Structure 1
Amino acid sequence: MSAARAPLYGLLLSGGASQRMRQDKAALAYLGEPQLLRAWHLLERVTERAFVSVRDSQRNDALRASLPQIVDSYDAIGPAAGILSAQEVHPEAAWLVLACDLPLLDETTLRRLIGARDPSVDATAFISRHDGLPEPLCAIWEPSIHALLKQRHDAGSYCPRKALIQSNTILLPAPGDALDNVNTPEERSDMQLRLESTT
């Protein structure tokens, strides 16, 4: 018997400290729009409901305040804080989790991920083109994986990629450069040039 198909919600991770960038990565504009809003519009188009994951101190930030939010209920442990918090607010849902620093990501890539989804497994993810490991920050996390994430958290292990490796995860080929992220001012300049050259 196949597993019941949980509704698919979107979670845009925006709570990172952006230390290497030295400014909020979510607010960086590409082609005239803040990256957080670019990513938000993608999630809105492909999921039933979408939320922005924020730290408590970000709730009233001008960029985030107008969007539906899920506030981290865990200490600053990286992306796992946002994923766990979302799972606990809506345990009935599967989550398409997305980092906010993927300027090349497009709707076609997200629909490929969703099209490969199998609710009887724990997760669906792309393989990173850089290291061949699962990419956790553009992935679908089913409700069944929550217990493992929580168990790992309680044991002091916060790496979402390792949780995918330990789980029953469908792995898809890397989608070209769609998941290339931007972490430094130099990478941002390079990305802006790449985007401008394609318009």
Structure 2
Amino acid sequence: MSQAPTPLYGLLLSGGASQRMRQDKAILAYRGEPQLLRAWRLLEAVTERAFVSVRDSQRDDPLRAGLPQIVDTYDAIGPAAGILSAQARHPDAAWLVLACDLPLLDSGTLRQLIDARDPQADATVFTSNHDGLPEPLCAIWEPSSHARLLQRYQDGSYCPRKALIQSRIKLLPAPGDALDNVNTPEEREAMQQRLESLA
């Protein structure tokens, strides 16, 4: 009997402290909609189940409270805490992990990632447009990626990108500027102008 394919769940990372932006990036609106809700719609449309990754203090936040949540069960160590918490909750699922601060991301980019998915790899990832390294926050993490990510966490190394570099990954070409993110008020202003010029 052939084994059932590993289900693909979605994880929208929204637990960051947004220190450089000086306000919660998830609530920032582009084209009239908070980033979190726009990213949620994209993710929910292409996965079997989707969840928002939150810190315990964010559970009752009005923007997040109405969405299915996975609360970090690891210390606040950045994106790795969200990924590890999701893997612990549903260990038999693969996770399409997505940052919530990608205003240019579109459904076509997510479908391209899913169509190229290699379940035999630890992860299927895009190449970063900026440094040529694997992009961990728009990537499919297979169940086999958990052991290395957990080992690195236990060793005090919290960078998911470095975990990918040490793993068996399927690396896809960068999808243009779809994964450009926004971390500072200045970058946000530039992105707003860019989106207005595209409208």
TM range (shorter): over 0.9
1:167 and 1:4 mapped to 2: Cα distance?
Answer: 24
CA RMSD of aligned residues (A): 1.3
Could you tell me which residue of structure 2 aligns to residue 152 of structure 1?
Answer: 152
Aligned partners of 1:56 and 1:105: how far apart in 2?
Answer: 27
Answering whether residue 17 of structure 2 is matched by residue 21 of structure 1, we say: no
For residues 134 and 9 of structure 2, the distance between their equivalents in structure 1, rounded to whole angstroms, comes to 20
- Are 2:171 and 1:171 equivalent residues in the alignment? yes
Letter in 2 for 1:32: G
**Distance in 2 between residues matched to 1:189 and 1:92, nearest whole Å:** 41
Q: 2:4 and 2:164 mapped to 1: Cα distance?
A: 21
For 2:54, give the aligned amino acid: V
Q: How many residues align?
A: 199
For structure 2, which runs of at least 5 residues remain unmatched after alignment?
A: none
Matching residue of 1:120: 120
Displacement, 1:180?
Answer: 0.2
Shift, 1:92, TM fit: 1.0
- What SS class does the counterpart of residue 10 from structure 1 fall into? strand
Q: Distance in 1 between matches of 2:37 and 2:194?
A: 19
Counterpart for residue 51 of structure 2: 51
Contact between 1:4 and 1:119, CA under 8 Å: does it hold in 2? Answer: no
1:189 aligns with 189
Contact 1:3–1:120, Cα closer than 8 Å, also in 2:
no
TM alignment of 1:14-163, pairs within 5 A:
14-163=14-163
SS at match of 2:63: coil
Per-residue deviation, residues 166-194 of structure 1 (Å, max 9, x unmatched)? 11100000000000000000100111111
Q: Cα distance, 1:4 vs. partner?
A: 5.3
Alpha-carbon distance in structure 1 between the residues aligned to 2:197 and 2:65: 33
TM-score norm. by structure 2 comes to 0.98
The structure 1 segments of at least 4 consecutive aligned residues displaced by more than 4 Å after TM superposition are none
State the 1:5 CA deviation.
2.4
